Copies of this chain bind each other. A is one copy, B any other.
Amino acid sequence: MINSFSTYLDQYGSLSEEAELSVERISHPTHLPGNHEILKQGNTLKSIYLILSGSARMYYYHDGREITNQFFFEGEVIADMESIYSGKRSNYTIQLLEDCSLIEMRYSDLEKLFQQFHDQEAIGRKLAIACYLEENQRNRSYQKNTAKGRYFDLLKTYPDILNRVNLSHISSYIGVTQVQLSRIRSKIAAF
């Protein structure tokens, strides 16, 4: 059960008591309503957010359409790695899909912990590798599957996503039109 950044980080390695206390010190609980935009295109993301309850998505525009690049659910951390890491303006908008209970952490504070504690840095490295592997799996899903297969792969990761997220968000995430995803779904239902 993930209810703090410490428990979140525990998944990737163990922290010294001192580092763990520092993590708690820079953690700030918040509540934000559905539809709230944590990051707007053209701005820079300054904080990351652990989700205790609720969900969010990160999207960008291409040819005037929204394409969802990432979903975030309970126990996951909302962040645009690119913007946070580079400090540059983001091409993404991050929008809450439901009312959320969050824990906020300023990235500048976290950076200090990386510098201060070697074990914190080690966990950061492992976490980044985990993100890479996940992203690589998504690529393999594209290489070997047709849209139906990608849809199933997504359901494996997020089984209840259908009840919580718009079809159009899901469809753009797996690189297919909303219309086509609706058809795929209907074919599966009727068997």
User: Which of B62, B85, B114, B139 makes the CB contact (< 8 A) with A144?
Assistant: B62
User: Which of B60, B67, B128, B139 makes the CB contact (< 8 A) with A128?
Assistant: B128
Known contacts A121-B125, A125-B121: A67-B143 contact under CB 8 Å: yes
**Count of interface residues, chain A, beta-carbon cutoff 8 Å:** 31
Contact with B along A140-153 (1 / 0, CB 8 A): 10111000000000
Nearest CB to that of A117 among chain B residues? B118
Q: Are B114 and A125 in touch, CB under 8 angstroms? A: yes
Which DSSP category, helix, strand, loop or mixed, fits chain A's interface? helix
Within 8 A of B (CB), among A170-188: 172-173, 175
- Cβ contacts under 8 Å, A138 to chain B: 139
- Bound Cα distance from A45 to B53, whole angstroms: 39
